[in-house]
Amino acid sequence: MRVMMAVAVGMCTCCMIGCAMNEREIDQLSRQWITIWNDGDPADLPLADDFQHTSPYGHIEGRDRYLEVVGPMAKENVSRLTIEDVLVSGHQSVIRYQNRLASGKTMYACDWLTFKNGKLARVRSYYERPAESRTDSY
């Protein structure tokens, strides 16, 4: 009954938050996440003000804080991201991709994205930190 009610009012059936986005839109925004990083301007990312990011480096809360910390780090270390797969379910997606590092090495990674009201609300990144940066954290 709860799922039927959610569908009737346009909510995601997996969380009932009413993010009003369909899976095609989630797929497009997920791919945009990678495209914007490749273009080198993370300020264009569609992040919610209360955005949260968790990675092997730690946890950051807030859009502005995320851009302040991760933007320069990514510009210095990321050379090219290449999408391998995007899986979408409800208001979430998982992107499996290759990260070509500035050092020339390739790192394989996954980002689990959660969307709310047309924006990225949370990203959980899964990868092994490069050996040369394992002493760094947020």
How far from 81 is each of 10, 40, 69, CA to CA, in Å? 33, 11, 19
Q: Which two tokens stand for residue 106?
A: 């390739």
Instruction: List pLDDT tens digits, range 48-76.
Output: 999 999 999 899 999 999 999 988 888 78
pLDDT at 131 over 70: no
> What CATH number belongs to 21-133?
3.10.450.50
111 contacts 97 by C-beta, under 8 angstroms: yes
How far from 117 is each of 11, 17, 70, CA to CA, in Å? 11, 9, 23
Domain boundaries, the chain: 21-133
State which H helix or E strand residue 79 sits in.
strand 78-89
pTM over 0.85: no
* DSSP helix/strand/coil, 22: coil
